[in-house]
């Protein structure tokens, strides 16, 4: 945890960001916040998943508002400098920064934690304003009043103890601490608070009900300031000169603001641009086994949905309530999905739920390999055998594997709707994603191929899969040939062979048939 008053630390941090190659100007959020200073709307809480730029905005606000600094050399070059309110608020306020993360090892109890915060804050205020008339029992609130000053509070990772399940018996005490420190106090010019989890609600409301909350699902005001927009990424791609927007879009697209603006995880995009290579950068930074953890809360109820989403489908679902700080482990499907949306593991927009992008898709694929998913994990375990059988032209093994999957006790894999066969194929070939770029319904030749498998390694065999229900395999093979689905592969590598794979299901005898030809 860190606490400081009117220091140059935020300016130093923001200067580093400002000088970085792929800096994006988000300073216009300041114009909107200037409007609420010293008003009844001065309590603002913005929550977003990790890596969406929350701490960067905190540093920017500290650098802009803090007294005793001159940050005009940076902000004169940013969009905020064109605002009428720019000069009025630049470096005009006492700023108290509190980051609630990282509890020292010697603090074992909530009282030690909160007393340390109070002690540091008292020390800062007393020292900065040379307050003399102090009783040893004076509260921090009383000391702030004695300063006769107004403060902007910038609170980062406010939900740290909730997010990490710390001091569970005292979490309501923490909310009361914040309420008593901030609510209706004349020394609060503004309080800007940020974290991952929305504020805990009681039956009668919230201890922090003075805050206007702007959450991942419902923020219609500040959404564009957290995450990169498409236009911002296109600008960065031009600056790079080496990365194509389309590649970044495949890997990191999939999140939306409440107003429908597409936003991308900034950290992953910047890392991809710096390395000129797309991979799962977000998942390399933290406990992404959380994906598996949340799926395990009610595996049976959500299993079919997860299979569909891994197959690229969206789930039609209404989610009204957001997962909040202090909630116990989610139990129902809606609670699990709500928690995963808040944490950024799933994307939700216009009533549809989905895995947002390729970066997160890899984590869901890993999660499905867990034994808690029962036969699904076994299917995935066997998927390397399915791939090998396909490239070797072993149609009997392909048919046998599909027959076993279809006969499982998993409803979605028993062809109860038109997308079920595609779900089966997705699981059967899941391990192929390690070495192939797999496209579903890809435009190629004179139509759209059901599945195309583009090798990432030069010695692997490309293939096209066409699915048919109650049709002959020759019909499917002829469709691949007549509609010239091979065209995309010719452009990629003319010298390599391509396999046409026909997979058909007969609903009467409930059998699969397969034919594989080189074209």
From CA 466, how far away is CA 470, in angstroms rounded? 13
Six-digit token pair at 279? Answer: 């991979």
- pLDDT tens figures, 74-90: 999 999 999 999 999 99
Bigger pLDDT: 250 or 190?
A: 190
Identify each DSSP E strand in 9-116 by its residue range. Answer: 43-47, 94-99
- pLDDT tens figures, 244-253: 999 999 999 9
Q: Among candidates 196, 187, 371, 391, which has minimal Cα distance to 296?
A: 371
Q: Among candidates 69, 56, 46, which has minimal Cα distance to 24?
A: 56
Reported as a pLDDT band with limits 50, 70 and 90, residue 448 is very high
Q: Among candidates 144, 228, 226, 215, which has minimal Cα distance to 182?
A: 144
| Average pLDDT, integer, range 481-489 | 92
On average, the pLDDT of the chain sits at 92
- pLDDT tens figures, 407-418: 887 888 887 665
From CA 286, how far away is CA 255, in angstroms rounded? 19
From CA 255, how far away is CA 40, in angstroms rounded? 32
Rg (CA), the chain: 28
The reply to whether the predicted model has a pTM over 0.85 is yes
Q: Are 201 and 162 in contact (CB under 8 A)?
A: no
Cβ neighbours around 259 below 10 Å, total = 10
From CA 391, how far away is CA 72, in angstroms rounded? 63
From CA 41, how far away is CA 300, in angstroms rounded? 44
- pLDDT tens figures, 467-483: 999 999 999 999 999 99
Enumerate the H helices of 369-435 as residue ranges: 375-381, 383-391, 395-406, 420-428
- pLDDT tens figures, 131-175: 888 887 899 999 999 999 999 999 999 999 998 889 999 999 999
Please, how many CA atoms are within 13 Å of residue 355, restricted to the half-sphere of its CB? Answer: 23
3-state class (DSSP) for residue 516: strand
Is the pLDDT reported for residue 287 higher than 60?
no
Enumerate the H helices of 66-148 as residue ranges: 72-75, 86-89, 110-129, 140-146
* Residues linked to residue 498 through DSSP beta bridges, in sequence order: 462
From CA 295, how far away is CA 372, in angstroms rounded? 9
pLDDT at 288: 47
pLDDT at 113: 94
Q: Are 201 and 213 in contact (CB under 8 A)?
A: no
Cα 53-168-97 angle, rounded to 5 deg = 35
- pLDDT tens figures, 315-373: 999 998 899 998 888 989 999 999 999 999 999 999 999 999 999 998 899 889 888 88
Give the DSSP per-residue string, 201-230. Answer: -BTTB-TTTTSEEE-TTT-SSSGGGSSEEH
Is the pLDDT reported for residue 289 higher than 80?
no
Q: Are 228 and 263 in contact (CB under 8 A)?
A: yes
Helix 299-310 / helix 333-342 crossing angle, nearest 10 deg: 50
Cα 253-56-101 angle, rounded to 5 deg = 105
Six-digit token pair at 350? Answer: 């216009």
Domains recognised in the chain with CATH numbers: 2-222 (3.40.50), 228-284 (no CATH), 290-368 (no CATH), 379-518 (3.40.1350)
Q: Are 229 and 262 in contact (CB under 8 A)?
A: yes
From CA 487, how far away is CA 165, in angstroms rounded? 54
Q: Among candidates 396, 515, 505, 427, which has minimal Cα distance to 463?
A: 515
Reported as a pLDDT band with limits 50, 70 and 90, residue 455 is very high
Which residues, including other chains, have CB under 8 Å from residue 491's CB and lie 6 or more apart? none
């Amino acid at each position: 945890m860190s606490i400081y008053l009117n220091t140059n630390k935020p300016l130093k941090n923001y200067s580093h960001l400002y000088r970085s190659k792929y800096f994006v100007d988000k300073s216009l959020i300041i114009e909107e916040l200037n409007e609420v200073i010293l008003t009844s709307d001065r309590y603002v809480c913005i929550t977003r998943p990790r890596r969406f730029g929350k701490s960067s905005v905190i540093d920017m606000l500290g650098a802009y508002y803090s007294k005793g600094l001159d940050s005009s050399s940076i902000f004169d070059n940013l969009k905020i400098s064109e605002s009428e309110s720019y000069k009025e608020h630049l470096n005009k306020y006492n700023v108290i920064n509190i980051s609630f993360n990282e509890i020292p090892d010697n603090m074992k109890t909530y009282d030690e934690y909160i007393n340390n915060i109070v002690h540091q804050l008292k020390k800062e205020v007393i020292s900065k304003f040379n307050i003399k008339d102090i009783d040893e029992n004076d509260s921090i609130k009383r000391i702030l009043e004695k300063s006769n000053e107004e403060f902007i509070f910038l609170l980062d990772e406010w939900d740290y103890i909730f997010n990490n399940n710390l001091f569970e018996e005292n979490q309501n005490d923490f909310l009361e601490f914040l309420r008593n420190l901030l609510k209706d106090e004349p020394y609060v010019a503004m309080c800007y608070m940020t974290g991952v989890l929305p504020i805990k609600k009681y039956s009668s409301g919230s201890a922090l009900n003075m805050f206007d909350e702007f959450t991942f699902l419902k923020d219609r005001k500040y959404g564009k300031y957290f995450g990169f927009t498409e236009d911002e990424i296109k600008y960065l791609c031009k600056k790079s000169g080496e990365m194509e927007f389309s590649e970044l879009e495949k890997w990191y697209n999939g999140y939306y603001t409440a107003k429908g603006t597409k936003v991308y995880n900034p950290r992953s995009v910047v890392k991809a641009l710096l390395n000129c290579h797309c991979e799962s950068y977000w998942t390399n930074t933290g406990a992404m086994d959380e994906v598996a953890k949340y799926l395990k809360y009610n595996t049976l109820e959500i299993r079919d949905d997860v299979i569909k989403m891994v197959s690229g489908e969206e789930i039609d679902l209404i989610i009204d309530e957001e997962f909040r700080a202090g909630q116990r482990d989610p139990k129902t499907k809606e609670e699990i999905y709500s928690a995963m949306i808040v944490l950024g593991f799933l994307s939700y927009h216009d009533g549809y739920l989905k895995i947002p992008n390729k970066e997160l898709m890899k984590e869901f694929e890993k999660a499905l390999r867990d034994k808690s998913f029962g036969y699904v994990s076994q299917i995935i375990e066997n998927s390397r055998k399915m791939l090998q059988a396909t490239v070797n032209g072993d149609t009997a093994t392909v048919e046998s594997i599909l027959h076993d999957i279809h006969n499982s006790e998993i409803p979605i894999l028993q062809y109860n709707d038109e997308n079920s066969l595609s779900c089966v194929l997705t699981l059967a070939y899941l391990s192929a994603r390690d070495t192939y770029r797999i496209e579903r319904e890809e435009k190629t030749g004179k139509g759209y191929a059901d599945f195309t498998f583009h090798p990432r390694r030069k010695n692997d065999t490309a293939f096209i899969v066409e699915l048919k229900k109650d049709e002959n395999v020759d019909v499917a093979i002829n469709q691949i040939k007549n509609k010239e689905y091979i065209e995309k592969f010719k452009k990629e590598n003319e010298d390599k062979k391509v396999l046409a794979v026909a997979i058909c299901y007969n609903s009467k005898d409930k059998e699969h048939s397969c034919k594989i030809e080189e074209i």
